[in-house]
Amino acid sequence: AQKITQTQPGMFVQEKEAVTLDCTYDTSDQSYGLFWYKQPSSGEMIFLIYQGSYDEQNATEGRYSLNFQKARKSANLVISASQLGDSAMYFCAMREGRSSYKLIFGSGTRLLVRP
């Protein structure tokens, strides 16, 4: 069965610095997708970035980049130049296979950006 692990329940980062949020996964499928979502205190889930298992390059979206290490089954999110508005919960999620669209989420990391 697939599993997503986020080992950092909480993280602090100084404003304008970079921060890495860890995510490891376990799956027996060769085809899968990895997603990161941000959840502010208001509750909505905001899609940040996607990495496919066959993608050779690490995904980037603005200040977000994904450090994908397939052999180690890790997909860490890197946020550069942190802003106060980045303070939120961050969830790593995985979609397994080409025929399933449901997402399985990790336990999340609460990020607090200090001014």
Partner 1 sequence: GAVVSQHPSRVICKSGTSVKIECRSLDFQATTMFWYRQFPKKSLMLMATSNEGSKATYEQGVEKDKFLINHASLTLSTLTVTSAHPEDSSFYICSAREGGKSSYNSPLHFGNGTRLTVT
78 near partner 1 (CB under 8 A):
no
Q: How far is the CB of 114 from partner 1 (least distance, A)?
A: 20
Q: What distance in Å separates the CA atoms of residue 95 and residue 87, rounded to the nearest whole number?
A: 25
Q: How far is the CB of 101 from partner 1 (least distance, A)?
A: 5
43 near partner 1 (CB under 8 A):
yes
The amino acid sitting at 12 is F
SS3 28: coil
Select the span of 17-25, 66-74, 79-87, 107-115 touching partner 1 (CB under 8 A): 107-115
Q: What distance in Å separates the CA atoms of residue 113 and residue 85, rounded to the nearest whole number?
A: 8
Residue 59 Cα distances to 21, 65, 77, angstroms: 15, 6, 10
Q: How far is the CB of 31 from partner 1 (least distance, A)?
A: 7
Q: Beta strand pairing status for 104-105 and 109-114?
A: unpaired
Q: What distance in Å separates the CA atoms of residue 103 and residue 84, rounded to the nearest whole number?
A: 28
Among 3, 70, 98, 114, binds partner 1 (CB under 8 A): 98
* Chain residues that interact with partner 1, rule: CB under 8 A: 31, 33, 35, 37, 42-45, 47, 50, 52, 91, 95, 97-98, 101-108, 110
